[in-house]
Amino acid sequence: MNSTLTLLRSLLGTVDRGRGRLIASVLLAAAASGASVALMGVAAWLLSRAAEHPPVMYLTAAAVGVRAFGISRGVFRYLERLVGHDVALRMQSALRLETYATLAATTLLGRRRGDLLTRVVADVDAVLDAVVRVIVPFASGGVVILGTTAAIAAFDPLDALVLLASSVVAAAFAPWLARRLSRDADAEAVPARGALADAVHEISRTAPDLVAYGAEDAYLDRMLAVDGRLRRAEQRAAWVRGVATAIQTLGAGFAVVAALVIGSHAVADGRLGRTMLAVLVLVPLALHEVFADFAKAAQTLTRASAALRRVQAVLDAPPVGRGDLDAAAHDPSPAIDLDDVTVGWPGHEPLLTGFDLHVRDGERVALVGPSGVGKTTVAATILGLIPPQAGDVRTRGRLGYLAQDAHLFATSVAENVKIGNKDAAAEQVAAALSSAGLPIDPDRLVGELGATISGGEARRLAASRLLVGDYQAVILDEPSEHLDPATADALLDDLWAAMAGRPMLVITHDPDVVARCDRVVRLDRADAGAAGPAGGRFGV
């Protein structure tokens, strides 16, 4: 909880006049709720007084008050929504930008994609819930309780004490109880949501393979198990919220009955005017309506805290392997250096231990070996997508990467090329496409996952991202895949020319590509299989 408050305070500090805006939002919410309570009180007095058939002029002030409070309630609520959401959305934007910046400089892309996507999207949205659905309602509710109690105390102090006690039960005890009873379920719902996203993502991407191998039922059962865990957490939270709502309803009923009893005795004793009895009885109803969503807000606080802790875990991830761009600007010799590195995916056994690799200026080094031996894992380690399990990884400057399964976005060809350089001009995009051997309309839509283009076109489109960018070192993963020999040779000629003088690591099975490289590093399955605490040493 303390870490969540610290994160929220730091995000509020990024908003211009953030504290003032948040206080204004709380005051506007209190004014809106206070107007609702005042509307009920004035309307109750007006009806009670009108029943005595006084001259109509006696009712004019109350009638104006009813109109004023009725209109102002909507105005204050609208302004509160504007100011409160403005603050929350600015904080959310700051957190999202910080999260993206961290992802660009850390090892967290080695996490499962569905869970990571949930952290970046849904969990970051918890800032909005924390501000709009928790902080503002509870803070403004406290102000309204104090104001209403003070107003009722002016007519009957005993009734004011009873109203305060019932308000504490409904606005504090019931939400606290709801949060305590559903804390584990609410906290579990957040990671369960990420696990469900993982399962759905995995099934959607691998459905043909799962069907081909007859594994679809097992994966569906696993997804349904996660869904069941999430559903049980939601059911638990809903049941507890129902109990808390019942307590709040009983608190409101107790306040009304107590006001009726206390007020009746006060009227009988002559300490209270008859028209004020309706005010004492109906005001608690309006006040307790302010607390109606507090139990849900308390549960939201648990979920928001759990979600923001998951985001904080992203922000706390150590930077790895991103290189020093400032140093690279003054260093004429950008390089890729791996010293005594243990390579492997997080949570799994290492693929390589004691691995050394040094790619110097102008070198084209081929990294070869059978599938599954760890070549792409070496590239992911160099790029900082996963952390080395041991050893030292150093890079200088911007690294360009042609991935074996480079993602294509459902947008135009030009926008896909600009992944390599977001500021690229139209002429640069056209030149990159031409150099990649892809004479295609830059405005053509690629479609979902490159559905409207062939595999070879997708490969050349991904390569054009390198040609449009300014990279000091390049890693190519199967650059000739899906290309005919002539197109592959032409593409490699352009890549070789564009990256002349820069370090280049080429992962390939193609002997023609290997022949074009200056040096070969070979990884053998037997050697990789022996890797571990007593594994062999690989050197270049």
Percentage with pLDDT > 90 across the chain? 27
The predicted pLDDT at position 8 comes to: 85
**306 and 351 part of one domain:** no
- Closest C-alpha among 34, 237, 23, 33 to residue 131: 23
**423 and 293 part of one domain:** no
Q: In what order do the strands lie in the sheet with 352-359?
A: 352-359, 336-343, 390-395
**443 and 339 part of one domain:** yes
Helices 136-153, 60-103: axis angle to 10 degrees equals 160
Amino acid at 94: A
pLDDT, tens digit (0-9, with 9 covering 90-100), for 396-453: 778 888 887 788 888 888 898 898 888 888 888 888 888 777 888 888 888 776 777 8
539 lies in some domain: no
283 lies in some domain: yes
Measured CA to CA, the distance from residue 207 to residue 213 in angstroms comes to: 10
Distance of CA 366 to the CA centre of its chain: 39
**Range with the largest mean pLDDT of 239-243, 355-359, 394-398:** 239-243
Residue 123 has pLDDT above 80, yes or no: no
Element (H, E) at 399: strand 399-402
533 lies in some domain: no
pTM of the model: 0.66
Region 18-37: mean pLDDT is: 94
Poorest-confidence range of 117-131, 359-373, 522-536? Answer: 522-536
Residue 79 has pLDDT above 50, yes or no: yes
- Our CA angle for 204, 210, 214, nearest 5°, is 145
Q: In what order do the strands lie in the sheet with 399-402?
A: 399-402, 473-477, 504-507, 364-368, 519-522
Measured CA to CA, the distance from residue 440 to residue 431 in angstroms comes to: 11
* 70 phi, psi to nearest 5 deg: -65, -40
Region 322-342: mean pLDDT is: 60
Residue 112 has pLDDT above 80, yes or no: no
Query: pLDDT band at 105, cuts 50/70/90?
Result: low
Instruction: For tokens 């990467």, name the residue.
Output: 401
**424 and 310 part of one domain:** no
Kindly report the CATH number assigned to the domain that includes residue 290: 1.20.1560.10
The predicted pLDDT at position 95 comes to: 87
Instruction: For tokens 């393979």, name the residue.
Output: 209
Residue 11 has pLDDT above 50, yes or no: yes
Domain limits for position 376: 335-522
Measured CA to CA, the distance from residue 311 to residue 91 in angstroms comes to: 14
413 lies in some domain: yes
- Average pLDDT of every residue of the chain: 83
Token pair recorded at residue 506: 């080429």
The predicted pLDDT at position 117 comes to: 61
308 vs 87, 129, 520, CA distance in Å? 17, 11, 46
**246 and 385 part of one domain:** no
535 lies in some domain: no
Query: pLDDT band at 391, cuts 50/70/90?
Result: confident
Bridge-based pairing state of the strands 390-395 and 336-343: antiparallel
**340 and 258 part of one domain:** no
Q: Which of 287, 316, 345 is the last residue of a domain?
A: 316
Measured CA to CA, the distance from residue 263 to residue 42 in angstroms comes to: 17
Q: E-assigned strands of 171-213?
A: none
Number of domains within the chain: 2
486 vs 448, 480, 482, 483, CA distance in Å? 28, 10, 12, 8
**301 and 359 part of one domain:** no
Q: E-assigned strands of 130-249?
A: none
The predicted pLDDT at position 326 comes to: 44
The predicted pLDDT at position 445 comes to: 85
**344 and 377 part of one domain:** yes
**15 and 150 part of one domain:** yes
- Closest C-alpha among 507, 510, 538, 525 to residue 373: 525
Helices 294-315, 136-153: axis angle to 10 degrees equals 150
Residue 320 has pLDDT above 70, yes or no: no
304 lies in some domain: yes
The predicted pLDDT at position 335 comes to: 67
DSSP string, 321-347: S---HHHHHH-S---EEEEEEEE--TT
Kindly report the CATH number assigned to the domain that includes residue 504: 3.40.50.300
**349 and 255 part of one domain:** no
476 vs 333, 367, 409, 508, CA distance in Å? 20, 10, 20, 8
The predicted pLDDT at position 539 comes to: 35
The predicted pLDDT at position 436 comes to: 79
Residues pairing with 359 in the sheet: 336
527 lies in some domain: no
Region 33-44: mean pLDDT is: 94
Element (H, E) at 475: strand 473-477
pLDDT, tens digit (0-9, with 9 covering 90-100), for 267-315: 988 888 888 899 999 999 999 999 888 988 888 888 888 888 878 877 7
The predicted pLDDT at position 27 comes to: 95
- Our CA angle for 75, 78, 82, nearest 5°, is 135
Region 51-79: mean pLDDT is: 91
Instruction: For tokens 């892309």, name the residue.
Output: 109
Residue 532 has pLDDT above 50, yes or no: no
Q: E-assigned strands of 219-278?
A: none
The predicted pLDDT at position 310 comes to: 79
Q: Which of 284, 316, 348 is the last residue of a domain?
A: 316
Residue 337 has pLDDT above 50, yes or no: yes
Which residues fall within 8 angstroms of residue 151, CB to CB, at 6 or more apart? 41
Distance of CA 122 to the CA centre of its chain: 4
398 secondary structure, DSSP code: P
Give yes or no for a contact between 2 and 312, defined as CB atoms under 8 angstroms apart.
Answer: no
Residue 220 has pLDDT above 70, yes or no: yes
Measured CA to CA, the distance from residue 191 to residue 488 in angstroms comes to: 45
Residue 323 has pLDDT above 70, yes or no: no
pLDDT, tens digit (0-9, with 9 covering 90-100), for 462-521: 888 888 887 888 898 888 877 788 878 887 888 888 778 888 899 988 888 899 898 898
Amino acid at 31: A
538 lies in some domain: no
**292 and 423 part of one domain:** no
Region 89-101: mean pLDDT is: 85
- Cα end-to-end span (Å), the chain: 50
**267 and 360 part of one domain:** no
Which residues fall within 8 angstroms of residue 155, CB to CB, at 6 or more apart? 272, 276, 279, 280
